[in-house]
Amino acid sequence: MRLFRSVSLSVGTVLTTLLMFSLVGSMFFMTFFMQDVHGFDPVMTGVRMLPLTGTLIIGSPLAGLLIHKVGPRLPMAAGLAVSAVGLFGLSRLGTGSSPNDVIFWFVLVGLGLSPVMVGSADVIVGSAPVELAGVAGGMTNTAMQVGGVLGTSVLGAVMSAKVAHLLPLRWAEAHLPALVGEKLAEAKSVVSVGVAPVAPGTPRPVATVITSIAHSTFMSGLDEAFLIASVAMLAAAAVALLVKRDLEVDEHTGAPTQAPGRPEGVTK
């Protein structure tokens, strides 16, 4: 636990958790948007999400060079703010939005996350004594896993709550036969992943109305999840400003030493 005496290490752990909370939690539902709302197969869904992955691949080495020159604090804070803008843009999607509408926002999210993916790991491991570097590395991985699980769980709960609130109202407004008991629970469950609860043999006009209600309700939940993820990213950007330029760790003793080339009193 003494590792958490380092402000930078503690902040880096929080940043990693918030990053994965927003990224994994929100992008989990984006696959439903692609497959269940727009009808893409899993392969095409992956292709449509490549702008995010590709931007991370390209941006991470560039972010590493920038962090090496100016330190991790400002690049991480700025990157998180950019990612927050990208997630906010994704929260404005609607039923009429095309999969092509997400490309620009995916690029923004990827560009913003690049310095954080690089910098947070560097801050956590670089702030630990040499003999505990392996523990710090494990802490990074643990923070990523915990953040991803929390993001999927919390944003999934938000999605479910939004669907549970809106679906009965919109169903009643369309003058469809009331859903009760198991049928209502089943409808809420499938709408939460973008699927329309159209029973076999339903007339086409009625099926069209049900599909429209299901997709609009799903998008309302998706937008709220992305909005919460955006707020989490903004909170992470504020936390990133607490990162310090800690003194480097002596390779033999594990004790902090003055970093070469840095003015005395400047910390990492």
Asked if 36 and 94 touch (Cβ cutoff 8 Å), the reply is no
Alpha-carbon distance of 65 to 72, in angstroms, equals: 10
Alpha-carbon distance of 53 to 59, in angstroms, equals: 10
pLDDT digits (tens, 9 = 90+) for 161-210: 999 999 999 988 888 888 788 888 899 999 998 898 888 888 898 999 99
The amino acid that residue 240 corresponds to is A
Exposed / middle / buried, residue 45 (Cβ in 10 Å: 0-12, 13-18, 19+):
middle
Asked if 164 and 188 touch (Cβ cutoff 8 Å), the reply is yes
Other Cβ atoms closer than 10 A to 220: 19
Alpha-carbon distance of 150 to 156, in angstroms, equals: 9
Which residues, at least 6 apart from 236, have a Cβ–Cβ distance to it below 8 Å?
A: 14, 15, 18, 19, 22, 80, 116
pLDDT digits (tens, 9 = 90+) for 92-144: 988 888 888 888 999 999 899 889 888 887 788 777 788 887 888 888 888 88
Q: Which whole number is the average pLDDT over 47-63?
A: 89
- 256 pLDDT higher than 70: no
Give the predicted TM-score (pTM) of the model.
0.81
Q: Does domain 2-156+223-257 have CATH number 1.20.1250.20?
A: yes
Three-class SS of residue 257? strand
Alpha-carbon distance of 186 to 131, in angstroms, equals: 53
What's residue 245's pLDDT?
Answer: 57
Three-state secondary structure readout of 117-132: HHHHHHHHHHCCCHHH
Exposed / middle / buried, residue 218 (Cβ in 10 Å: 0-12, 13-18, 19+):
buried
Alpha-carbon distance of 224 to 196, in angstroms, equals: 20
Q: Which whole number is the average pLDDT over 208-218?
A: 92
In 3D space, the residue among 243, 244, 192 whose CA is nearest the CA of residue 219 turns out to be 192
Helix residue spans in 33-49 (DSSP H): 42-48
pLDDT digits (tens, 9 = 90+) for 5-44: 878 788 888 888 998 998 888 888 888 999 998 889 999 9
Which residues, at least 6 apart from 124, have a Cβ–Cβ distance to it below 8 Å?
A: 9, 12, 13, 16, 136, 137, 139, 140, 143
For the chain, give every domain's residue range. Answer: 2-156+223-257
Alpha-carbon distance of 157 to 224, in angstroms, equals: 11
DSSP string, 65-107: HHHHHH-SHHHHHHHHHHHHHHHHHHTT--TT--GGGGHHHHH
With cut-offs at 50, 70 and 90, classify the pLDDT of residue 253.
very low
With cut-offs at 50, 70 and 90, classify the pLDDT of residue 71.
confident
More confident residue, 21 or 257: 21
Three-class SS of residue 139? helix
Quote the mean pLDDT of the chain.
84
What's residue 231's pLDDT?
Answer: 94
Asked if 32 and 226 touch (Cβ cutoff 8 Å), the reply is no
